[in-house]
Structure 1
Amino acid sequence: MAECLVRRVLIDPGSSANVMPKVAFDRLEIKPKVLKCTENPLLGFDGKRVKPIGTIELLVRAAEKELVESFVVVEIHPSYNLLIGRGWIHRVQGVPSTLHQVMRCLSPDGNKVININGDQVAAKECYSVTLKAAGKGKAPIQSDSPQ
């Protein structure tokens, strides 16, 4: 994306938007003036509305495909660098599996299946960061597991 390799991407079939935290936007070294204004708030996991800083369209290369995707840039501090939602998943004809940490999709010519593999260690680290943030009151997560 934007000539950079981006790691720690959350593929979320429950999200209607592609989300980019501002810190990830800053790391891409794109000038803020390219952001387009938007007044449409996002609804966070905690039910609160988050006002976007703006939107940006960027070329995303994955699974031998290149698609221009719109991202909503917001001032949040998650454990991932990007959240890619169901619109992109549908456009690449992907089928994500959280159990297997993989998303399968067809190659552009439709002749082979491509696996986009997740990183089990990175996924556990992101989850751990999220739980630690929840303990500090930064993220509303409830756990039924004994402590």
Structure 2
Amino acid sequence: MGEGLRWPRPPVEGQSWRNDSKKKCEFYRDIEHNTEDCYTLRREIRRLCEQGELSHLLPCGGKQQDKVSSAKPAALPTCTKIINVITRGSDLSILRYSATKRHAIETKGDRLETSCRVSHSNLPVVAFDEEDIHDSQKHHDALIITLSMANCTVRKVVVDTCSSFNLIMLKTIENMGFNEKDLQKKTIQLVGFSGEIANSLGEIVIPTYARGINKQVRYLVIDGPSTYNVILGRPWLHLMKTVPSTYHKCVKFPTP
């Protein structure tokens, strides 16, 4: 292992190996554990590998191989049936069948053209890596952030990619200093995942600041008990060109 190996302290004088012991460490010259289980030796080997001392003993000259790229992807399972759903239309996104069909016809040619064209967008690439992980423990938490809205720090703001609207609770806007007179009267039926219906009280536009970006964001105001102050849906995500990651517990978006 070369002269760079840091040997541990020599054994105490007079200490001898017990031939009857089942555990022996050639690195420590001790009988407390086996050589292959010695953590100190493992750290020394790792340190020498990082310094390139053992490159002649390692594959690819000591360069780390990408285990993810070398792994074969799982084969596509055999499809035995297709499960569809019949619905009268999405109240959540205010779309009806006729509008959906018209939009599909109009964008069909655009999709074909886009697939054959190389993108030259000036937007930076938004990506996540291991440095973005704030908690190494496994979790299934929702993506909850804190935002500055109308000079107020609003906590418990949940990012929900399934919501077609930005929602804010009536109690939240009252705590911010607004009242129902500040609302633009607009009643919209909001349909939950199990079919329950709630009517909005109106709309309100609130300046929302997020890390260098200040936008005038339109919210639907609803009255009722809620665990969150605000639910940010796809309108805010698309407005900010946001890419959320529940695994990394953060959102990313391009800024100046």
Task: Name the CA distance, whole Å, in 2 between partners of 1:24 and 1:45.
Answer: 24
Deviation at 1:42, TM superposition (A): 1.1
Q: Quick check: 1:56–1:70 contact (8 Å CA) kept in 2?
A: yes
Q: Which runs of 5+ in 2 are unaligned?
A: 1-148
SS in 1 for 2:224: coil
Task: Name the CA distance, whole Å, in 1 between partners of 2:210 and 2:186.
Answer: 27
Q: Which runs of 5+ in 1 are unaligned?
A: 110-147
Task: Name the CA distance, whole Å, in 1 between partners of 2:200 and 2:175.
Answer: 18
Q: Quick check: 2:173–2:179 contact (8 Å CA) kept in 1?
A: no
In structure 1, the partner of 2:241 is: 93
What RMSD over aligned residues (CA atoms) do the two structures have, in Å? 1.2
Structure number with higher relative contact order (C-alpha < 8 Å, ≥ 6 residues apart): 1
Q: Which has the higher helix share?
A: 2
SS in 1 for 2:187: coil
Q: Does 1:40 align with 2:188?
A: yes
Q: Quick check: 1:38–1:54 contact (8 Å CA) kept in 2?
A: yes
After superposition, what is the alpha-carbon deviation per residue over 1:64-109, rounded to whole angstroms, capped at 9, x for unaligned? Answer: 10111111111121111100111111111111011121001111x2
In structure 2, the partner of 1:80 is: 228
How is 1:117-128 mapped onto 2 (pairs within 5 angstroms)? none
Task: Name the CA distance, whole Å, in 2 between partners of 1:44 and 1:76.
Answer: 14
Q: What amino acid sits opposite 1:4 in the alignment?
A: C
TM-score, scaled to structure 1: 0.69
SS in 1 for 2:155: coil
Task: Name the CA distance, whole Å, in 2 between partners of 1:45 and 1:23.
Answer: 24
Task: Name the CA distance, whole Å, in 1 between partners of 2:193 and 2:178.
Answer: 28
How is 1:50-65 mapped onto 2 (pairs within 5 angstroms)? 50-65=198-213
Change (3 A) 1:22 1:103: same
In structure 1, the partner of 2:23 is: none
Q: Quick check: 1:41–1:52 contact (8 Å CA) kept in 2?
A: yes
Q: Quick check: 1:63–1:105 contact (8 Å CA) kept in 2?
A: no
Deviation at 1:31, TM superposition (A): 2.7
Instruction: Flag the structure with larger Rg.
Output: 2
Write out the 4+ residue segments of structure 1 that deviate beyond 3 Å after TM superposition: none
The total of aligned residue pairs comes to 108
